[in-house]
Structure 1
């Protein structure tokens, strides 16, 4: 969000169509007017390199295959200087993988989970 929350545009992507519908329903219940959502299980980004912030909560299974997909998709989506924030469980994996594509890596523990973030190179 370059100019503040008032002019923010939010786009949500989830591979589960029910979750996409929940995001849109939640936006309707709140004063969120510029929210879109789409279903995708791939790294398909409609506007690569144009996002300021990517938030993700990859599932904690699948030997990090899905987490790898989240990291790669965030890298593709973010503009230079954009930020990724991911929730995870395995600090070692995020410590090893995040610096490959991002800098200014921060990893913090919160309520039994870790929150890993980094800035687009």
Structure 2
């Protein structure tokens, strides 16, 4: 499940993202953000990687989760679009020849997509 914001380059899709609320675990934040932005309920949230982000001194945390439903109910205030992509579509996009523009290599979302494309677990 990837989404796009209207301010991004045309065709760019990336992982859904958000911020932790006070007292919230990473797993709770992942489930809440995906639910709020795309209407998809998830479980079994798993950590993948982290990346320091200097704007302004933040830590990006990449996770994957199992979706409990696949119907997208988009929050148009957050995203312009959200779509499910197959592993083959993600691989093609990471190679520069797919149905969407992948996040740049320096982004944690690129790392997340790369790892998911290679290892589905």
Larger RCO (CA under 8 A, 6+ residues apart): 2
Question: TM-score scaled to structure 1, two decimals?
Answer: 0.27
Question: TM-score scaled to structure 2, two decimals?
Answer: 0.27
Task: Determine which structure has more spread, i.e. the larger CA radius of gyration.
Answer: 1
User: Would you tell me which structure has more strand in proportion to its own residues?
Assistant: 1
